[in-house]
């Protein structure tokens, strides 16, 4: 039996740093001592409850601009730098221009831009390319118009179609999902987990696109139109694919081939091919 038991913690609240972008073993921790006094315990007993309360950290580094409305949205494209979407933003049917000579890293914070697509025209400053990074978002659609700078998408969902025009490079990093069709007229590099409804390589009159793939790639359908000059290429690097990654099919205007120094095995019982480095 136990009686007159007193239990106590030497610390009742913890203020931990954010664990965002840290590994499990490096996540912030704290400890408290638990004491029992005043009585004898002769069998297992529940003598208390520990509750962990998690609150949102709404603070952001001083170099990040919070975007709360369309006016803020226009401002970050004008000024460049780093920006974070504070909440879902409706009515975002905008043609936005990233000012010449500016770079923008736009963290959309798992929020949604809806009621239209954002057209981002990135201008060259005459000396160096500009860079636009779109991070962690849901978009109704996405495209560019003769954008000759680099555009990177990280951990994004595109609900409708996505098109790339001439010049520059598009990069998909992390986990990305395009529900509709991606129409490719420029070089695209994809790494990570990538799911796409339809990949379409339309007729182009300048250059030919090259798609470099690696990671866990799932593409529902391919569609190749005529292209001028050389043929479009899909180059499959280390990863897994739901299509044969070394099949250069004749009779169409695009080819699927392995990256240099890679080999392929499969398919497995789920129709998945695996590409490894030699």
Neighbours of 28 (CB within 10 A): 11
| pLDDT tens-digit map of 248-268 | 554 444 578 899 899 999 899
* CA atoms within 13 Å, Cβ hemisphere of 252: 16
> In 48-158, which ranges are E strands?
64-67, 81-85, 94-98, 104-113, 118-122, 131-139, 142-143, 150-158
pTM: 0.61
Report the pLDDT value the prediction gives residue 241, as an integer from 0 to 100: 94
* CA gap 209, 165 in Å, rounded: 10
Report the pLDDT value the prediction gives residue 128, as an integer from 0 to 100: 43
Which segments of 8-69 does DSSP mark as H helices, in order? none
| pLDDT tens-digit map of 60-119 | 556 788 888 878 888 887 888 888 888 777 655 556 666 667 778 888 777 776 654 444
- Strand bridging mode 169-173 / 6-9: unpaired
Query: For residue 58, what are the contacts with CB-CB under 8 A and spacing of at least 6?
Result: none
* CA gap 13, 11 in Å, rounded: 6
Task: Determine contact, residues 150/132, Cβ cutoff 8 Å.
Answer: yes
* CA gap 69, 112 in Å, rounded: 12
The list of the chain residues with pLDDT below 70 reads: 1-23, 25, 34-62, 90-100, 113-131, 139-149, 163-168, 202-207, 225-232, 248-254
Instruction: Report CA dihedral (231, 205, 214, 119) to the nearest 10 degrees.
Output: -170
Neighbours of 227 (CB within 10 A): 19
């Amino acid at each position: 039996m136990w009686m007159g038991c007193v239990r106590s913690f030497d610390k009742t609240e913890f203020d931990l740093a954010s664990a965002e972008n840290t590994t499990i073993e490096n996540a912030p921790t704290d400890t408290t001592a638990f004491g029992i006094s005043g009585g004898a315990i002769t069998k297992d007993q529940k003598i208390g409850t520990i509750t962990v309360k998690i609150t949102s950290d709404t603070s952001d580094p001083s170099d990040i601009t919070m975007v709360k409305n369309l006016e803020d949205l226009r401002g970050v494209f004008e000024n460049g730098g780093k920006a974070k979407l504070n909440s879902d933003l409706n009515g975002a049917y905008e043609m936005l221009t990233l000012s010449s000579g500016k770079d923008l890293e736009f963290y959309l914070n798992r929020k949604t831009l809806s009621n239209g697509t954002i057209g981002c025209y990135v201008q060259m400053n005459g000396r160096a390319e500009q860079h636009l990074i779109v991070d962690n978002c849901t978009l109704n659609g996405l495209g560019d118009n003769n954008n000759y700078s680099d555009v990177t998408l990280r951990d994004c969902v595109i609900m409708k179609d996505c098109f790339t025009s001439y010049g520059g490079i598009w990069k998909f990093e992390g986990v990305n999902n395009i529900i509709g069709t991606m129409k490719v007229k420029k070089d695209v590099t994809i790494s990570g987990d990538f799911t796409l409804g339809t990949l379409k390589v339309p007729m182009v009159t300048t250059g030919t696109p090259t798609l470099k793939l690696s990671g866990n790639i799932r593409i529902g359908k391919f569609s190749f139109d005529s292209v001028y000059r050389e043929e479009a290429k899909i180059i499959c690097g280390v990863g897994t694919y739901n299509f044969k990654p070394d099949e250069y099919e004749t009779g169409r205007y695009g080819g699927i081939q392995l990256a240099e120094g890679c080999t392929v095995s499969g398919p497995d019982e789920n129709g998945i091919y695996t590409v490894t480095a030699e």
